[in-house]
Structure 1
Amino acid sequence: MPQISIAPATPDRFGDAQAAFDNGGDGRSCQCQWWTLTNAQFQAATSDERARLFRSEVDAGPPPGLIAYVDSEPAAWVRVGPRTRQVRLARTRHFQVGSAEPWDDESVWAVSCFVVRKEHRGQGLNERLLAAAVDFARDGGARVVEGYPLDPGAGPKKTSNSLFHGVVSTFAALGFREVARPRPDLAIMALDLSE
């Protein structure tokens, strides 16, 4: 049975985050900057520029996400942090109207992106990462954790790359409740950490 561990993306683990992005969808080209930039900024940035932005983010801290390791090898990634640091979330119409939380509230954290290397899919890493992200958010002072997962059973068939939001069943299994369904295949889910 493989040994799975999860650690924050600290500056000394930057190379591990890069390895987690490889062979796992759009992670290498996106550098998990999709939610941190406006659409115009993202489109204008090259992959190398996004990598530099990600490096700066990791170096400045706090860690913008967590890395999962399988047998000590980087295997997966999740972005988790205050929602205010992920500016595109507030600019996304479906999320604007569906979230019950004020957009300027630093105590609302978001789990917005998962990347799992192809060879490590099917091992339950997203659920392990989400559970660790909730603990990380709680330790960081979060009051609420939000997610924006897709429902693969609703709407058109989903590609693996389109599931970077995570899936509804994973969030539901960890106690997140659905607070809005802006599209049949897109949910806003929240976990109140004060309860």
Structure 2
Amino acid sequence: MAWETHPVTPDRFEDFADVINPNRRATHCWCLAHRLRAKDIEELGAGDRETAVRALCEREHPPGVVTYRDGLPVGWCSIGPRTENPKLSASKLIRPLDDVPVWSIICVVVRGGHRRQGVTTALLEGAVAWADSQGAPAVEAYPVDPAGERMDLTMAFVGTRSMFAKVGFEVVGTTGAVASGMPRLVMRRELAGA
């Protein structure tokens, strides 16, 4: 099995879309709900989410990476400098712990039909390696650890604490954000540039 992870540049946009929005629904979040405010989406894409995310793919730091297994796009990770995520940067609940210019993971998606097959581990390893190659000093993620309780939330990284720990992330704090009464953790992995 061959794994590859690449930033979502314009030439890889369709692969990204195949993972997060295979039916190309216009009202789908396009992985912008936790990244951009409505005014940012309006500015980038005249209110059209797909157009806005396409614009992000043209920036120096695209909005994330796609992981491929044997050439097929199977996973998406929204990762980039925290400062390039306006909604996260403005959050009163997920505040920076210190002055380290971290890169943040704010969404992880595994393509339907490919879950429970090791994609998340390969995806996170690839995302961290890409951030490291771009000079990131550390990468943070904000999962919810339900401690055995059942939760039905999307984009909360529910139960992924162990997946982040498996690829070298450590719990360094908690946030003011909660999901079903449980706070999100702050998990960080220091990189070579730190």
Q: TM-score, normalised by structure 2?
A: 0.81
Gaps in structure 1 of 5+ consecutive residues = none
CA contact (8 A) 1:9 1:63 kept: yes
Aligned to 1:174: 167
CA shift, 1:137, in A, is 1.0
Residues 1:108 and 2:102 aligned together: yes
Gaps in structure 2 of 5+ consecutive residues = none
Letter in 2 for 1:129: L
Residues 1:83 and 2:82 aligned together: yes
Q: Matches of 2:63 and 2:131 in 1, distance apart?
A: 11
CA contact (8 A) 1:155 1:185 kept: no
Tell me the C-alpha RMSD between the 2 structures: 3.1
Write out aligned runs for 1:23-172 (5 A). 29-38=28-37, 49-96=48-95, 99-102=96-99, 107-153=101-147, 156-159=150-153, 161-164=154-157, 167-172=160-165
Residues 1:192 and 2:190 aligned together: yes
CA shift, 1:144, in A, is 1.5
Residue deviations 1:123-156, cap 9 Å, x none?
A: 1212211111111111111111111112142555
Aligned to 2:10: 11
Q: TM-score, normalised by structure 1?
A: 0.80
CA contact (8 A) 1:78 1:130 kept: yes
CA contact (8 A) 1:5 1:68 kept: yes
> How many residue pairs get matched?
187
Alignment CA distance shift 1:17-1:138 (3 Å): same
Letter in 2 for 1:92: S
Residue deviations 1:41-82, cap 9 Å, x none?
A: 669x99x71110100111233322111123322221001111
Q: Matches of 1:111 and 1:129 in 2, distance apart?
A: 11
Q: Matches of 1:3 and 1:163 in 2, distance apart?
A: 29
Higher helix share: 1
% identical equivalent positions: 31
Q: Matches of 1:27 and 1:134 in 2, distance apart?
A: 30
Alignment CA distance shift 1:41-1:7 (3 Å): closer
CA shift, 1:86, in A, is 0.7
